[in-house]
Structure 1
């Protein structure tokens, strides 16, 4: 039973006036036994601010979340995108925090930060070492109460360009990127708060001015419309004093009333469409459903799972298994005002979407014949429980959950109610919501077809958006005033940090089995789960001896996710889902990986399934034919995606013709066409061996308990697998630009670099990473500040060293505005050249040492973080004290050493520059630069002649 205490007390911070100091403890929730609950204390400040504190001393980190109950639903027609735009502006400095300092201060403190906006709320968050709590609260309070005077026209214009770049990268220039926008504006009535998307429209972004934005802040960003949630290595009474000090004197904003649900009603099917630069036609059917928290929400979630989630679903059986579509999925998505039951079908090329719609309707109707069984409910309830528990694996996950529950349910402990709702769903409920919301009900039916292929539309468009009945809402913005807090302390002084927390490296155990399999593990009892990762060395590189069948590692891994000797893939998926477990197998450049997640109570059954999947694959011709077809279609689809084209051309240039790494790990159409089922069986039989494998285990289990469960791995038969040696890359005689035409691309993709060195935990590779941090490794790096914050060319730019067991590239990359492509290349090369020539500044060196030195507190928090850290120790045979050695290197490295590393490892005259973009917009300006420009096709083959200024 949850222990919930209700009382009211007064806490007083000496630095705050008596009028501001009254803070009420609303409730305190503690955990009893094994119940699923996040303990917390909830407070209310006099200005209306809600404070929630979760105490958790398992790691020396703190997560601070400030959630404002305002999203794009509070915007007006013609002024879309404000909430998201303001999310950007909140990082641009305030009265006591200089421009671009917010990111710098948090990074320098060893923390990480971000903000997100959706329809209904905006949140800002930092995860920092526990000694930096006061700094995080000072930063958040300063932008809540002291922002607007720092919002300048220049900052406004730069962030307007950044938001437009974000829209270009994530919406306009992404395949199917406008699906949600098209659905929203045709599903909801004109003027409905959900009829536009969070990113907003370009014309609205162009129309607004800085004063519009300031008014939006004044109306919605008051403390009375915010929840501050703090979790981690803290003491609640200290948090309360700090929050009172920094937030208590900020005046309340205008009152905010919750919006009421506004579920749309359709009188008939609405057919709408658009053409996109895609290979596969897509059909999306969207039915209106109730809002989040509605009593029917869990039953609709069950219905969506039965219809179109996983291999047990009707849509998987009828579309994917029968090769009628590449992908088929169904989800019930809910927001504060309404929900959407969406069916998404990605068909094969040239498939008429009328056929796809007909089969979709037949599949929906099949639910009536199939009905609901006990296993359907068991699967749903087990997966929901597992998901809730796994969300609690980090302090950030727990804080986010508390903040969301408080914002939308006024109850941070809503997890108890959510569990009840999930467990109480019945078969009758699922049948009822099907009849009420789906059966025979009208939907928005969106067709997305390749350009010039309107003959594939499901039906001609029959709906035009009408403004009839629209009435503008009340004026929310007249008479707003900006009143700053009056304090008895100096806010301009950044708080001190105190001693850095001592961050112990997780204690771990290791073992080696007779068959050569290596194991590393650690016990972690924060949540009752076990994470197991099996890594089999080789992957795509194993095909170096026969590149003509490149792609086989990926295809083999996919085959292992299909039928086994004792289960069809559907039966196997059903058994896993009933446990709330997952087993995923995939292949990359250097390895095949197996990822296992299980609740501890279900580990034995999960490992039995892992043994079946790993050692008893059936390898049927039917599965092979289907997966091979999907892989070939996926390869063909890459030719439509600028990001994939840029990466593929870049790798071909780096590694050279004939090198296995010059070929994508998925293979090419030609190489995959060569692969047979016998090839897959041979690859599996010859290369899946314990002698080149390692197991990493993190979870609520002792070493002895674990070892007793791994007999099946100890009995794994050893094979003689020879891993290929590294092959030296071709030399680059001079820096050239390689240009690929992507007609009408809204953005260009840029890659700049060369093949550098393999991973080394304490050698030159590690030191080069330290060198790169100020250049392109942090948000406040030279490259990102220049291209994103100063110029507004991109949503983000970076550089990094990417070595592993084999030499990996140094790469600088970004997606940039098409009209700023040549300028972006110039700025990239300017930053690389200046750093190579002049090195690091003393301030940058200090920033790098502070930031990386304090970041250890965040390295080992979640099960996956711990598993990644331990896996690296085993893979590279690192000593137990390697972290201490890295720390010593970090503390002692000098400006002279960094400068020498830059001079050596940034060969600006011997790099490849790849640009993928619209030829008519981009190429003439590239040709005006002082580089030879070589035009190549999407496969990296030269077309026409090169040009040199």
Structure 2
């Protein structure tokens, strides 16, 4: 269940992103909803509990709620706007139901739920959903585990059959081998998201310090390695029997369905599954701190971090919303106290506040990462001074107006997709028993007052004790804010009663053949969104489409060039993104803080960015506030202040962010891989943010000149998606006609690096828990209906699908990684082929062998008939999900302008897909899987990985973190090592998720 962002330890351009955040789906303004309740059904019958319908144009989610005799709650939202269905099964069990010594088990079990059941073969769940044109995943947090699919409407019955089979028929399909493989996968996930991630252990350190020993929140969801090693397959089976009964679950279905249809299928597939043991809600008192608890640890980081955490209240507590407001005022944006006093004052890389809440407790959190010259002790004083400043400052009308408007806008946007609406209903039902709880949430947000905010500050923060965490660079314990003064006290802990004794597995008895997979209905007819085009006299190309599902408008400007333009003067690399950062600051009329305030009151956003091929301007607004938002857009686009003060601050932050990249294995891998691919002297071999040398050379005058020269309508495309017609929006954009065009000359395409033979490159990341692997070569530029598109079809079963050969081998068969794959990524001028993974350090050489084996085997043996049919079915039916949201529509239209595509290009792609033959696929594999001319690059602990890599038969070149050669060493055995026949992977398995998202 989601909630406000927790402190996401970001550094500049999201370099320090943390793992799982809990984000609560919140509600929109609702007037009165119509609720119809029925009389009680007879015993043994499904009961209609309520029907909630929309009245007028209010923003809410209509639904019907039922309860089956076995206790399963079914919530149905009917929405025929797109031919898709989202199915969510949420079990009210997360890591809070675990026991001491068995942490991480709820999440581990989530992995096991994808390993097959009585009527669904090993790894078939992902394969079936994928070939149905759908996408799926599962996630675990402290309080719940959910499993979900988004599929074309004709696959509804298949999705329900799959979910029911693992709810009622899992355990006989569980084997010791599956258990061991998934345990390794979870360990790899921990390595990737915690142990190999800067600040990755911060959250679990906070938790075990804040909460009493044995408290359900005193460990993190991912768990500890030693606990994962301790559990066995019987623990898994008992966990399933205790918590995975229908009476502890909610089935929520939203989309192109009817309630009658869903209830009938739910009764068929779920109705016979027996109830599980009773599950009672937990309620625990908030932790009581009698003193500030100082705790610290050392990490492989550049910037130390301090975090101050006060215990607060659970979700939906009356004081939750006022505490949210308090967090926004103290550290939520550019107008906040921490931003002004620390970030803008150039004392900290980042400083912010947040108030994440869960079912049992909440945490008011202040975070700061000091810039060099400032200590963690300094930062602690600054954080405490910010609280004192708030006491004097108080709460303003502006504070409340901004908070409430931003909240409403966020909810409107969250309801733009069927999956968003369905997951909102599921969350509210699971934690409150009321899918329509959003109306109460709205009331709570609208009713919050200044006095409420001051009251909760005095009650939970003022003069109260906190956990104060210091994360310091390795070997520098003296940098902590204060000496550790807390050790975990196990005295007084009383183990809970055994909840797992005497559990029995009672299978459902059916009157139909459950082993027979449901036949899908006819594929839905998919229509490309109708669109309009208009060219302005100054060169802007406009394309738009109406989307009236929510009352918003999205504008997306794309200016050709970006980082690519820096090829005119590579000594200034990074200037495009620095200019974009400056455009997010002061304008001639307003400060950045004033603009931020105005936008928040409107519930709007305007942001500038720059990437490798283009500069962008993104605008989001509610229809009712569009005119005011466009006035601010005009001010920001055409009247930037470009102040020296802003420039000096942003340049300093940029330089520190670049220096920090040395602590980021993934960033190092991507940067060095690009340098190897493109070659010395190519602009794309230099990071988009620039280097220390190039950024140091940039002056404010350089930025102004770059803006005047390249920020031009002559290279601008504009995409408009929203609840507005062409003749309504274009007059409002008349100010764009005043934008004077300039002649923008694109740099000549530089020569790409040549690869004469496959080489292996190593970048040392001392004591890294994992190795980042990149394998590839420069393939071909983008072509929507040519060989590039066809090569993507070819690669789908090799490295692009959920159950691709590469992922099944490295993840499912070997347990080397949390996720692996391959892809072609083309632009107008170039496009690499890349295979990638993060693997355990001690299997780095073996992982390279398996990568090369799979690529070579696919090139030599080609695709199977079964794989070809799977690819055609999966990609062909996925069109149903292609144009649902405003973002998806905008992306589609932007590609049409960027690549000058014909309106019927999608139809041509579908024709290619359906007609492509096995022989064509195999010919493409032989041509484009050039195993003899690929660069193999690893970022990892050289001492651990180099000896094994040197035995593989490739030339080995050591590089520094900037991609410059250190030592070139040639090893020339007879041939690269091949895997033996015992390591051959299976081809009928699934991939899962990476970093909380579906992996593909």
TM-score by length of 2: 0.93
Cα drift, residue 349 of structure 1: 3.4
1:179 corresponds to which of 185, 188, 202? 202
Q: Take 1:578 and 1:239, find their aligned partners in 2: how far apart are those partners?
A: 41
In structure 1, the residue matched to 2:676 is: 653
In structure 2, the residue matched to 1:5 is: 36
Could you tell me whether the CA contact under 8 Å between 2:98 and 2:105 is conserved in 1? yes
In structure 1, the residue matched to 2:805 is: 782
In structure 2, the residue matched to 1:907 is: 930
In structure 2, the residue matched to 1:338 is: 361
Pairing of 1:552-631 with structure 2 (within 5 A): 552-631=575-654
Q: Take 2:654 and 2:50, find their aligned partners in 1: how far apart are those partners?
A: 55
Structure 2 spans left out of the alignment, 5+ residues = 1-31, 973-1000
SS in 2 for 1:909: helix
Could you tell me whether the CA contact under 8 Å between 1:352 and 1:455 is conserved in 2? no
Q: Deviations over 1:116-152 (max 9, x none)?
A: 0000000000000000000000000000000011110
In structure 2, the residue matched to 1:29 is: 52
1:534 corresponds to which of 539, 557, 564? 557
1:842 corresponds to which of 862, 865, 886? 865
Q: Take 2:432 and 2:967, find their aligned partners in 1: how far apart are those partners?
A: 63
Could you tell me whether the CA contact under 8 Å between 2:774 and 2:937 is conserved in 1? yes
Cα drift, residue 10 of structure 1: 5.8
Residue 352 (structure 1) aligned with residue 380 (structure 2): no
SS in 1 for 2:663: coil
In structure 2, the residue matched to 1:800 is: 823
Residue 134 (structure 1) aligned with residue 165 (structure 2): no
Q: Take 2:231 and 2:541, find their aligned partners in 1: how far apart are those partners?
A: 60
Pairing of 1:166-315 with structure 2 (within 5 A): 166-315=189-338
Residue 80 (structure 1) aligned with residue 108 (structure 2): no
Cα drift, residue 779 of structure 1: 1.2
1:896 corresponds to which of 908, 919, 922? 919
Residue 713 (structure 1) aligned with residue 736 (structure 2): yes
In structure 1, the residue matched to 2:76 is: 53
Q: Take 2:555 and 2:495, find their aligned partners in 1: how far apart are those partners?
A: 55
In structure 1, the residue matched to 2:986 is: none
Cα drift, residue 270 of structure 1: 0.3
Q: Aligned-residue CA RMSD in angstroms?
A: 0.9
Q: Take 2:763 and 2:754, find their aligned partners in 1: how far apart are those partners?
A: 22
Q: Take 1:942 and 1:723, find their aligned partners in 2: how far apart are those partners?
A: 31
Q: Deviations over 1:309-354 (max 9, x none)?
A: 1101000000011001001110011000000000111111363200
Q: Take 1:98 and 1:600, find their aligned partners in 2: how far apart are those partners?
A: 49
Pairing of 1:432-471 with structure 2 (within 5 A): 432-471=455-494
Could you tell me whether the CA contact under 8 Å between 2:773 and 2:939 is conserved in 1? yes
Could you tell me whether the CA contact under 8 Å between 1:281 and 1:349 is conserved in 2? no
SS in 2 for 1:901: helix
In structure 2, the residue matched to 1:634 is: 657
Residue 495 (structure 1) aligned with residue 526 (structure 2): no
Could you tell me whether the CA contact under 8 Å between 1:562 and 1:569 is conserved in 2? yes
Q: Deviations over 1:902-924 (max 9, x none)?
A: 11111100000001111121110
Could you tell me whether the CA contact under 8 Å between 1:289 and 1:338 is conserved in 2? yes
Q: Deviations over 1:558-606 (max 9, x none)?
A: 0000000011111110000111111111110001111111111111111
Residue 760 (structure 1) aligned with residue 778 (structure 2): no
Cα drift, residue 727 of structure 1: 2.5
Residue 413 (structure 1) aligned with residue 436 (structure 2): yes
SS in 2 for 1:4: strand
Cα drift, residue 468 of structure 1: 1.1
SS in 1 for 2:298: strand
Could you tell me whether the CA contact under 8 Å between 1:774 and 1:844 is conserved in 2? yes
SS in 2 for 1:532: strand
In structure 2, the residue matched to 1:367 is: 390
Q: Take 2:230 and 2:374, find their aligned partners in 1: how far apart are those partners?
A: 40
Cα drift, residue 725 of structure 1: 3.2
Q: Take 1:665 and 1:785, find their aligned partners in 2: how far apart are those partners?
A: 33
Cα drift, residue 699 of structure 1: 0.7
SS in 2 for 1:228: strand
Cα drift, residue 545 of structure 1: 1.4
Q: Deviations over 1:480-539 (max 9, x none)?
A: 000100000011100000110001110010110000001111111111111111111100
Q: Deviations over 1:28-59 (max 9, x none)?
A: 00001121210000000000000000000000
SS in 2 for 1:799: strand
Could you tell me whether the CA contact under 8 Å between 2:101 and 2:227 is conserved in 1? yes
Q: Take 2:373 and 2:310, find their aligned partners in 1: how far apart are those partners?
A: 26
Pairing of 1:805-824 with structure 2 (within 5 A): 805-824=828-847
SS in 2 for 1:250: coil
In structure 2, the residue matched to 1:154 is: 177
Could you tell me whether the CA contact under 8 Å between 2:682 and 2:751 is conserved in 1? no
Cα drift, residue 112 of structure 1: 0.2
Could you tell me whether the CA contact under 8 Å between 1:277 and 1:451 is conserved in 2? yes
In structure 1, the residue matched to 2:13 is: none
Q: Take 1:222 and 1:511, find their aligned partners in 2: how far apart are those partners?
A: 57
Q: Take 2:753 and 2:229, find their aligned partners in 1: how far apart are those partners?
A: 47
Could you tell me whether the CA contact under 8 Å between 1:383 and 1:581 is conserved in 2? yes
Q: Take 2:62 and 2:545, find their aligned partners in 1: how far apart are those partners?
A: 25
Pairing of 1:422-437 with structure 2 (within 5 A): 422-437=445-460
Q: Deviations over 1:796-831 (max 9, x none)?
A: 001001111121110000000001100000000001
Q: Take 1:478 and 1:404, find their aligned partners in 2: how far apart are those partners?
A: 30
Q: Take 2:40 and 2:636, find their aligned partners in 1: how far apart are those partners?
A: 58
Q: Deviations over 1:326-383 (max 9, x none)?
A: 0111001100000000011111136320001011111111001111110100000001
Q: Take 1:821 and 1:82, find their aligned partners in 2: how far apart are those partners?
A: 27
In structure 1, the residue matched to 2:141 is: 118
TM-score by length of 1: 0.98
Pairing of 1:908-927 with structure 2 (within 5 A): 908-927=931-950
Q: Deviations over 1:424-456 (max 9, x none)?
A: 000000000010111111000000011112221
In structure 2, the residue matched to 1:859 is: 882
SS in 2 for 1:830: helix
Cα drift, residue 944 of structure 1: 2.3
Structure 1 spans left out of the alignment, 5+ residues = 12-18
SS in 2 for 1:326: strand
Q: Deviations over 1:690-710 (max 9, x none)?
A: 110011111111111111110
In structure 2, the residue matched to 1:379 is: 402
Q: Take 1:538 and 1:842, find their aligned partners in 2: how far apart are those partners?
A: 43
Q: Take 1:840 and 1:596, find their aligned partners in 2: how far apart are those partners?
A: 44
In structure 2, the residue matched to 1:937 is: 960
1:877 corresponds to which of 897, 900, 905? 900
